[in-house]
Structure 1
Amino acid sequence: MSAAAAGAAAALTPAPAGADPGADKPSAKSVNARIDGLYEQAEVATEKYNGVAERAGKLREQVSDAQDAVARGQSKVNRLRDTLGGLAGAQYRSGGIDPALTLMLTSDPEGYLDKATTLDRIGSRQMLKLRQLQTAQRNLQQQRTEAAGKVEQLDGLQDALSRQKKSVRKKLSAAKRLLGRLTAQERAERERASRGGRGADGGSKVGSGGAKASSGRAAAAAAAARSAVGRPYAWGAAGPGAFDCSGLTQWAYAQAGTSIPRTSQAQRSAGRQVPLGEARPGDLIVYRDDASHVAMYMGNGQVVHAPHPGAPVRYDPVGMMPISSVTRP
């Protein structure tokens, strides 16, 4: 268990019966540190959830395509069987069914084809249809195997999503309980402190590259992010009604006609790295060494981001937390 998680658990332990409730009450500073730790852990878990969800979405499309291929393959096999049945009917009406064709219409046409001594009893058209049926059945079996494998993979990802969801909810519930221990004044002070720019990288040199976006798509993405200010935070959400941090930046670039990855870790590599001093509107500001948070630079030392539960999409100082990198998609 991490130090932040251990601290959070200790803060949630009830006092012994008969003890003075205020005697061992943790300070607002220590409670805030524990809340920050839980929010950070929840954000890491959320980005893992987003990554798994993205893979599951792609695999779900592959499963659908594979199942469509199986259906098409089965239809082809059925058509070939119908055609061969028609040939058998024609032979019957003309004086009887060729024994070779009868053998072909059994469930093992491939075994029949291996009996080379009977091949001369099959007409050229029948031979062609037989070989087509043989190939179609082989392809159908392969498609069924591939589809079953993808369904199994998808089931595994669904289980992983469920575990990640429980992890995020557990951490956010613990943070909410800790917040409830703060007074209204302490919560207000916490809110002001969270927006005050505590990182060492938020100085006057930030964004000296200019207040103008580096491209038309970056300008459009910045405009989209600004339009989302005030909308609620929701973990795992990518708009348009609610967002988590990487969901907001992905959605904003989608409005500009540009696709970027779903997670903050992947977004760090979704373009060219630029020095912090050259940041321009539309650039992605990635935070912490593990790249677990991302925001969009707006100029004038400000970013727009989706902070955490209970805090809507908003403007904050670029140096609100340690900056890992600046990416220009």
Structure 2
Amino acid sequence: MGTGKRGLLTAALTVVCAVTVLAAPGTAFASARTPTPTPTPSGSATPPPSKDLEKVREKLDGLYHDAAVATDAYNAAEEKAKKQSAEIVELAKKIDAGQRKLARLKDQAGAAARSQYRTGGLPPTAQFLLSDDPGQFLDGAGLVLQGQRATNKLITEVTGTQQDLQDYADDAAAQWKKLDAESKAKAAAKKKIQQQIEAAQKLESKLEKKEKERLDQLERQAALKAQTKWLDTGILDRIHGKASAQGEKAVGFATGQLGKPYVWGAEGPDSFDCSGLTSQAWAAAGHPIPRTSQEQWKQLKHVDVKDMRPGDLIIYFDDASHVAMYVGDGAIIHAPRPGRTVTVAGAGSMPILGVVRPDA
């Protein structure tokens, strides 16, 4: 990674994560101690107990997680629909070419029929008996044999072309059926995404300003606690992987997107969802990968956490519903969820399912 990009990433790590991402095990969580409460001004509403807000936080996590799962389903349906649309276009081209070929063959067949009509259509024996020049007849018989062979070939071509056209039509009908199914899947996923996000926003809208601030603090503390637990395993002492040339390019791309908003289904250039960011980063590095986090988990090479290197992708949660890019020093860049922006976070701040390497 270039000096400028490394400086930008270091600054982001410092500003966004403070000591939480890069701190040594045993010290990282110290910064998350709850500040000493200040007296509540007279007449102001008393913030609800932390345990009540903790339940709100867990509820929000669940809603946004379900939205992420639905987003993956939406993205998968979108990718399939694009592929099916492209296949339908190719089949339409084949059908058009086949129809033009069939028309040309029918013209040839018509010409052959007219030629046979002009010769009277007499059988070879009759033509021989009526001919004044047997030698000329034999020459003509050879031409007739060639004509018969050409006619047979023509019939075979016509039949084959007609069968091809039927096959293309059947394939197109099947692709249209699949496209319709994926369109319905996309619509259902979109509806679920909107329902989950609206429910989360409605829940958050009921909170007072101080409650929202406290909720954000609880969210940061939960992430920090998970990160510290991960660091306390000594994992960073075992991670020494160096980014590949393509990995550096992917990290550079991801770093350049810091601060851009999360939008479900988005893959840039102005906004991203989690897998939109990682897939576009690797596309920019010259190595296209699957669009969704679940397909990235299924199709890309798995590597052990201790062997990961910058540019590798960390897949989170048991259902592979979230993905982030490892950028080194125990940190990731990811697009978290609606209402958040592309940011730097601790690699262990969420439950890790595993690590995959796009350019293995």
Report TM bin, short chain.
Answer: 0.7 to 0.9
How far residue 318 of structure 1 moved from its aligned partner, in angstroms, is: 1.6
Task: Name which of 165, 188, 207 aligns with 2:213.
Answer: 188
Equivalences for residues 1-329 of structure 1 within 5 A: 27-89=52-114, 94=118, 123-195=148-220, 196-199=223-226, 202-203=230-231, 205-208=234-237, 213-329=242-358
- Return the alpha-carbon distance in structure 1 between the equivalents of residues 279 and 301 of structure 2: 16
Structure 1 residues 254 and 328, CA gap change in structure 2 (3 angstroms): same
How far residue 175 of structure 1 moved from its aligned partner, in angstroms, is: 0.6
How far residue 323 of structure 1 moved from its aligned partner, in angstroms, is: 1.3
1:107 aligns to what?
Answer: none
Contact 2:241 2:310 in 1 (8 A): yes
Higher relative contact order (CA 8 A, sep 6+): 2
Amino acid at match of 1:186: E
Amino acid at match of 1:202: W
How far residue 60 of structure 1 moved from its aligned partner, in angstroms, is: 1.8
Contact 1:209 1:279 in 2 (8 A): no
Amino acid at match of 2:226: G
SS of aligned partner of 1:77: helix
Contact 2:240 2:307 in 1 (8 A): no
Amino-acid identity (%)? 36
Q: 1:210-236 CA distances to partner (integer Å, 9 max, x unpaired)?
A: 576431111111111111111111111
How far residue 311 of structure 1 moved from its aligned partner, in angstroms, is: 0.6
Q: 1:218-269 CA distances to partner (integer Å, 9 max, x unpaired)?
A: 1111111111111111111122221111111111011111121111122124
Q: Is the deviation greater in 247-256 or in 274-283? A: 274-283
How far residue 130 of structure 1 moved from its aligned partner, in angstroms, is: 2.3
How far residue 128 of structure 1 moved from its aligned partner, in angstroms, is: 2.6
Contact 2:239 2:306 in 1 (8 A): no
Structure 1 residues 144 and 208, CA gap change in structure 2 (3 angstroms): same
Amino acid at match of 2:231: G
Amino acid at match of 2:352: I
Q: 1:143-184 CA distances to partner (integer Å, 9 max, x unpaired)?
A: 111211111111111111111111111111111111111222
How far residue 328 of structure 1 moved from its aligned partner, in angstroms, is: 2.3
SS of aligned partner of 1:281: coil
Contact 1:213 1:282 in 2 (8 A): no
Contact 2:241 2:308 in 1 (8 A): no
- Return the alpha-carbon distance in structure 2 between the equivalents of residues 321 and 126 of structure 1: 72
Contact 1:209 1:280 in 2 (8 A): no
Structure 1 residues 193 and 227, CA gap change in structure 2 (3 angstroms): farther
Structure 1 residues 71 and 54, CA gap change in structure 2 (3 angstroms): same
- Return the alpha-carbon distance in structure 1 between the equivalents of residues 236 and 114 of structure 2: 81
Structure 1 residues 243 and 211, CA gap change in structure 2 (3 angstroms): farther
Contact 1:198 1:319 in 2 (8 A): no
How many residues align? The count is 287
Structure 1 residues 275 and 189, CA gap change in structure 2 (3 angstroms): farther
- Return the alpha-carbon distance in structure 2 between the equivalents of residues 276 and 213 of structure 1: 14
- Return the alpha-carbon distance in structure 1 between the equivalents of residues 160 and 351 of structure 2: 60
Which structure carries more helix by proportion?
Answer: 2
How far residue 36 of structure 1 moved from its aligned partner, in angstroms, is: 1.1
Kindly report the root-mean-square deviation, in angstroms, between the aligned alpha carbons of the 2 structures: 2.9
Amino acid at match of 1:27: D
Contact 2:241 2:307 in 1 (8 A): no
* Max Rg structure: 2
SS of aligned partner of 2:230: coil
Taking structure 2 as the reference length, the TM-score comes to 0.72
Q: Is the deviation greater in 154-163 or in 83-92? A: 83-92
Structure 1 residues 213 and 56, CA gap change in structure 2 (3 angstroms): farther
Structure 1 residues 130 and 268, CA gap change in structure 2 (3 angstroms): closer
Amino acid at match of 1:63: I
Q: 1:87-108 CA distances to partner (integer Å, 9 max, x unpaired)?
A: 445566x477x69xxxxxxxxx
1:112 aligns to what?
Answer: none
- Return the alpha-carbon distance in structure 1 between the equivalents of residues 163 and 73 of structure 2: 39
How far residue 75 of structure 1 moved from its aligned partner, in angstroms, is: 1.1
Amino acid at match of 2:340: A
- Return the alpha-carbon distance in structure 1 between the equivalents of residues 242 and 269 of structure 2: 23
